[in-house]
């Protein structure tokens, strides 16, 4: 399962790509000079950017572990990114070796490294689909080949939706996906906000725009609006670094990414 036409999509090293800039923030090696250049420009504006990326990755780990410990055995992760250990399937399958995981991203570099996402347990399943989040029906079709959509699924769009503007259908994407999932399924979101450092975030958005990447910031209320019809789990919409964290994030200053988890009501 790799989606349509991935092998014909070339890795464009002439302009920055979100997956590769994020990889640079996390200290990875799967990025190019254009990505590093944008990463350095962002860290010059906001020295907390690297810390925010790490805090976001830790949020993914905590939420995945919590949902697996709560009994969820199926995971659909959209906007997966370049593999960075531990990956989501490693967390889920460390709790439940039979967990089934479907990863989705639209960047050809993620596909090129997908091999590392597919090395799971013998009892479980990991699959990768090359697809665009803005086409949720295509994603559901591919996911249904691996996941039983009549049983609960943890749907994660972590640090993804700030690349999808409301005008590009961000709410339609989330509601289409959530509508297709069984009661007891959970939605995990994180996305950028300008609530804490509006000027830095505004300059960061401009730097991404200069590199040809659309980035949008959302307020706490904007983020909460994605959870309509779901039960928001405590502590609600908070910076990712504060979502059920046992230890404070390294360094000082705010983390400009909100995170939250909601559950589809049962009965």
Ligand X SMILES: C[S@@+](CC[C@H](N)C(=O)[O-])C[C@H]1O[C@@H](n2cnc3c(N)ncnc32)[C@H](O)[C@@H]1O
- 132 binds ligand X per the rule CB under 6 A: yes
Binding span for ligand X by CB under 6 A among 31-39, 105-113, 116-124, 220-228: 105-113
Cβ–Cβ < 8 Å for 23, 223: no
- 129 binds ligand X per the rule CB under 6 A: no
Nearer to ligand X, 99 or 192 (CB): 192
| Among 38, 111, 158, 238, interactor with ligand X by CB under 6 A | 158
CB of residue 26 vs ligand X: minimum separation in angstroms? Answer: 8
- State the Cα–Cα distance between residues 243 and 232, nearest whole angstrom: 12
Binding span for ligand X by CB under 6 A among 5-13, 54-62, 177-185, 258-266: 54-62
| Among 79, 83, 152, 249, interactor with ligand X by CB under 6 A | 79
CB of residue 25 vs ligand X: minimum separation in angstroms? Answer: 8
| Among 38, 42, 91, 160, interactor with ligand X by CB under 6 A | 160
| Torsion from C-alpha of 173, 79, 208, 237, nearest 10 degrees | 70
Nearer to ligand X, 40 or 266 (CB): 40
> DSSP letter at 225?
G
Binding span for ligand X by CB under 6 A among 14-22, 63-71, 146-154, 204-212: 14-22
- 189 binds ligand X per the rule CB under 6 A: no
Q: Which residues pair with 71 in a beta bridge?
A: none
Nearer to ligand X, 8 or 267 (CB): 8
Nearer to ligand X, 57 or 89 (CB): 57
Nearer to ligand X, 167 or 266 (CB): 167
- 110 binds ligand X per the rule CB under 6 A: yes
- 19 binds ligand X per the rule CB under 6 A: yes
Interface positions with ligand X (CB under 6 A):
18-19, 22, 56-57, 60, 79-81, 105-107, 110, 132-134, 158-160, 163-164
């Amino acid at each position: 399962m790799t989606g349509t036409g991935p092998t014909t999509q070339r890795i464009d090293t002439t302009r920055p790509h979100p997956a590769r800039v994020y990889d640079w923030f996390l200290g990875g090696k799967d990025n190019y000079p254009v990505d590093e250049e944008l990463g350095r420009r962002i860290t010059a504006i906001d020295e907390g950017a690297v810390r925010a990326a790490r805090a976001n990755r830790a949020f993914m780990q905590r939420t995945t572990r919590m949902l697996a410990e709560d009994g969820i055995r199926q995971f659909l992760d959209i906007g997966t990114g370049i593999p960075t250990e531990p990956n989501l399937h490693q967390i889920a399958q460390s709790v439940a070796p039979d967990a089934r995981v479907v990863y989705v991203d639209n960047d050809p570099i993620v596909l090129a490294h997908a091999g590392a996402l597919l090395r799971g347990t013998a009892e479980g399943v990991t699959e990768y689909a090359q697809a665009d989040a803005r086409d949720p029906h295509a994603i559901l079709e591919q996911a249904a080949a691996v996941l039983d959509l009549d049983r609960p699924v943890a749907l994660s769009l972590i640090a993804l939706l700030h690349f999808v503007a409301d005008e590009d259908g961000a709410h339609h994407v989330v509601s289409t996906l959530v509508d297709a999932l069984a009661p007891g399924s959970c939605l995990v979101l994180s996305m950028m906000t300008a609530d804490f450092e509006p000027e830095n975030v505004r300059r960061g958005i401009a730097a991404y725009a200069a590199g040809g990447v659309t980035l949008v910031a959302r307020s706490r209320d904007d983020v909460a609006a994605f959870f309509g019809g779901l039960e928001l789990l405590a502590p609600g919409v908070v910076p990712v670094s504060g979502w059920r964290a046992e230890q404070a994030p390294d360094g000082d200053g705010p983390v400009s990414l909100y995170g939250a988890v909601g559950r589809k009501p049962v009965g």
